[in-house]
Amino acid sequence: MQVEERLCEIYETLDEYFGELHWWPGETPFEIAVGAILTQNTSWKNVEIAIAKLKKADLLDPLRLYTAEDSIVAGLIRSSGYYNIKTKRLKAFLRFLQEEYAGNMEEMFREEMWTLRERLLDISGIGEETADSILLYSGGKPIFVVDAYTRRILERHDIISWDQGYKEIQALFMDNLPQDTSLYNQYHALLVNTGKSFCRKKAPTCRGCPLETGKPL
């Protein structure tokens, strides 16, 4: 079976099992971008708490969050873990947004996708997964997000090898699937849900997994 067929089969199987997941949660592109930065090395549940506190403090706004004292921001996002580091990362992103686009997310997303990606990667604390999450979920750009769940599932189904890098895995999806934002959004969400529910790092629950077929996909 060709790679394209295997990726499509995985998608169709998971989509039938989980249904439409409507990921990433967030009321505005800015909220989604903040969530993408805060979710590094923590669960989404912890990020939701932090987002709720930022909203309650009326700081979920590019300029207000940028000018807020670091200590105040750190206190509000404490639930997300590494809160001092994440405050610095947020402020670095906000400085970029203010200086380059006058704090306007729409203006930022008018940039060509790959150009903006490189600019985001130049921001301290923003790696490929975070940059691509901002581009896809906040900006609606057709770019595939690769995370630990994606890598683990593809490795266990012998689609990739352990030593393949982020760009190679991303290209696997983008070269073999239509360049479609909605497809990439749903596919990534399906892989995340499969990883959390079944394909865990330790003690995976293969029995009952929608990808349990008795033969390699």
H-helix or E-strand spanning residue 205: none
pLDDT at 119 over 50: yes
- pTM, 2 dp: 0.94
In this model, does residue 135 exceed pLDDT 60?
yes
Contact 14, 215 (CB under 8 A): no
For tokens 């330790």, name the residue: 202
- Answer CATH for 29-138 from 1.10.340.30, 3.40.190.290, 3.90.105.10, 3.30.300.30: 1.10.340.30
pLDDT (tens digit per residue) in 48-96: 999 999 999 999 999 999 999 999 999 999 999 999 999 999 999 999 9
For residues 161-165, give the mean pLDDT.
92
Q: What is the pLDDT of residues 14-36, one digit of tens each?
A: 999 999 999 998 999 999 999 99
Q: Can you give the pLDDT at residue 1?
A: 65
45's CB contacts (< 8 A; 6+ apart) are none
- Tens digit of pLDDT for each residue in 147-158? 999 999 999 999
